[in-house]
A and B are shown apart, each in its own frame.
Chain A
């Protein structure tokens, strides 16, 4: 503690006033201890482990979800970029390392559909390729702060939701992935014109590293809201939560 106080006091601005320093050293020490005490109050004693603080933070996060939903525009589009801006190589990112990427036989893969829908038949990759396709070059932004520009193509999700007769008044769309990831989004974002079921990356079928055979691509949401390796979709009024969201990331995760 005293070492840290020493470092704070040793700021360059004070080095020029050595004679005065001796006179006020005691006061300085007091100030240093005060500000450090404040800092350790906020960090050292794990204030955020306090149940009441945790409850307040999670209440604020839910409030912020509402603010984010209010700020979300159904028509405002994320910036698009020329092909020359694409990040190469586009980074792999998941809650596990690259050596644990799970693959599936794309011929046998079927997308399950459930919840508030009228058509529950599973979809094959060939079925999805018969639907209208759309391409985008957009910026993927990770909650960690880094970002990368990539090119995804696939079925506009609003088209798919209409094909399965999804209840437009339902609040959530949930995703279960065969890498045991799961997440969920609001219906407004699900129907956003740039929300697509990506089947291709860079003009070729989605490779395993990027979520083969299908991921949901939303440039209006952070990376952890863009599920890869999707196995099942459900339309519901009960918030299905998510892998990271249940651990503390904000649920809306909007950009």
Chain B
């Protein structure tokens, strides 16, 4: 049975790409901001940063944050209303994750367009949660007085700043895995642009 529905609904695709560009701006401008007062014994190379100097990077960061928040909110609202989050993103049980992870690592996990396997669900749910926490920790160091309760609950300004950095590192880690998987299954890139078509249910799935 082949349904007419796209594997990736238009809202998901649009918010994905707008969010992707905004996130890239947030990360690279964030690296430039980090370079002004590093918390670890290294700085990011200039070619990987955005903004040219601290003031420019701050302007990029605080402009891109609205784009990221906007696309994120639209995505979450759509995801909740349409059931996309519950159906496709809600993590499966640990056994399913283990099974799909083993299958993926041994190259036996078939990719079926429009179906999210247990590893994907875990990664996507995880990066969404991390992104939300990154926004919260970002707000807490942007407005440590006006949103002092967030700053306080994260252990104070200095710790919140390090948490923000650590969460960014997790997002970058996700991006590396995400891009590697896209490289392994390039058709996913096409369907994330065109929408693709939902593949018929697999016989072997769940056996």
Q: Which residues of A contact B (CB under 8 A)?
A: 4, 11, 13-14, 16-17, 20, 24, 27-28, 31, 35, 38-40, 42-44, 46, 48-49, 56-58, 60-61, 64, 68, 71-73, 76-79, 139, 141-147, 219-220, 244, 247-250, 254-255
Contacts and interface: CB of A to CB of B under 8 A. Distances in A.
B177 interface: yes
A72 B50 contact: no
Contacts of B49: 43
B58 interface: yes
20 contacts: A11-B176, A13-B177, A13-B180, A14-B180, A17-B107, A24-B183, A31-B183, A42-B28, A48-B51, A58-B59, A60-B63, A61-B62, A68-B143, A79-B148, A79-B151, A79-B156, A139-B144, A145-B39, A249-B58, A254-B145
Interface centre among A4, A31, A250 (most CB of B within 10 A): A31
Interface centre among A11, A146, A248 (most CB of B within 10 A): A248
B62 A64 contact: yes
Contacts of A244: 55
A195 to B, nearest CB: 12
B43 interface: no
B163 to A, nearest CB: 13
A146 B37 contact: yes
A11 B181 CA distance: 12
B179 interface: yes
Contact of B50 (A28, A42, A71): A42
Interface in B142-170: 143-146, 148, 151-152, 156-158, 161
A60 B64 CA distance: 9
B116 interface: no
Contacts of A147: 157-158
Interface of B: 24-25, 28, 33-34, 36-37, 39, 46-56, 58-60, 62-63, 66, 105, 107, 141, 143-146, 148, 151-152, 156-158, 161, 176-177, 179-180, 182-184, 186
A78 B144 CA distance: 8
B179 A39 contact: no
Given A40-B47, A46-B52, A57-B59, A141 B177 contact: no
Contacts of B176: 11, 13
Nearest to B67: A60
Contacts of B52: 46, 48-49
B192 to A, nearest CB: 13
Contacts of B161: 145
A60 B66 contact: yes
B48 A43 contact: yes
Contact of B179 (A31, A42, A56, A142): A31
A27 B186 contact: yes
Contacts of A71: 143, 146
B39 to A, nearest CB: 8
B24 A42 contact: yes
